[in-house]
Structure 1
């Protein structure tokens, strides 16, 4: 079971993250300040850390720097700081990703999963192409005919699950579990709505899709090729 340490001094955010992570099968520990976080790491090294920068004792960057002195554990910064300089400093200090508050829960979950996967396997970026569409799942960048198209966090999550099994059928139940959580399995209308949105944004002819195909009553498949990035 993947162990995630959540470090934030906002009890509401800590509680929300704990609920959502546990619902997705993660083992979760929380810390409200930097020193407590470092103590947790000393006792049990997490598989990933979600770290706020504005902590009441040690600054989040100091926590990050101390972590990097000994560990390569993936760290996703979750902060209300929006300035580019703050993001650059955090990434240069060794953070794997940076998410600003307020945030979309599904996007944060996807960033955590991606950071854990990259660290665990050293896997290359996930990029798929087809029908004039380029989907860089790792960097969350979609292009149609060279033009950038914006996808929502939930749309990206669907694309990610399908892209990892490009060319193969992914069942409705698996998609619902992966994107919305283990409590979902029968809400096939969610998939119809979001796949229709993806087709409108990405397909050359949404009424006659060639990328996002439906296997009636079974699931969906993304017909695209993995590329080198």
Structure 2
């Protein structure tokens, strides 16, 4: 809660400073988009009116849920953008996660491990700016994978794994509303292929490997709202 209040206060201060600067400097022509070779910024997902920042999308993986249906799990990570020329930028999102949990079961201990990896890359061409707005078009490629291993402590081990690969076309913009910070919106028309997740059981009365369903989707994703912090 304190972080949210601090962030809200910071945004208000920045906006007030920009307005004050414009009033004092009559020749000030507003904030200009930082669209130039060498420009760089961190990227955060932004939820309007809630003052919270989140990780950026970084692919997804597949698994079979308790009903036996294919399930997509999105992963998120650190986002960064760099302008390789005055018109072309690369934006990447990277995720890596690992966890291990020990669960007492009677006189033994069960162990569950899980790991995820995801990467998303945008290559965007920035069109001529409209005042403080920089529109762009581009392509997105993303990949994600996830795996888990469960040892019940009684000689039965269950391993699962799944992944997905996607590609899409981006249509978006960045609004440079104050110095050092911009807000962006993006639609992605894309295709994603989901692998058939595998489950391998070792030990017990029913050892073996089973393969779940696979699938694919195509369509326009939900619009992403980003906050970019330039430095």
TM-score bracket, normalised by the shorter chain, equals: under 0.3
Point out which structure has higher relative CO (alpha carbons under 8 A, 6+ apart): 2
Identify the structure with the greater strand proportion: 2
Identify the structure with the greater helix proportion: 1
With the length of structure 2 as denominator, give the TM-score of the two structures: 0.21
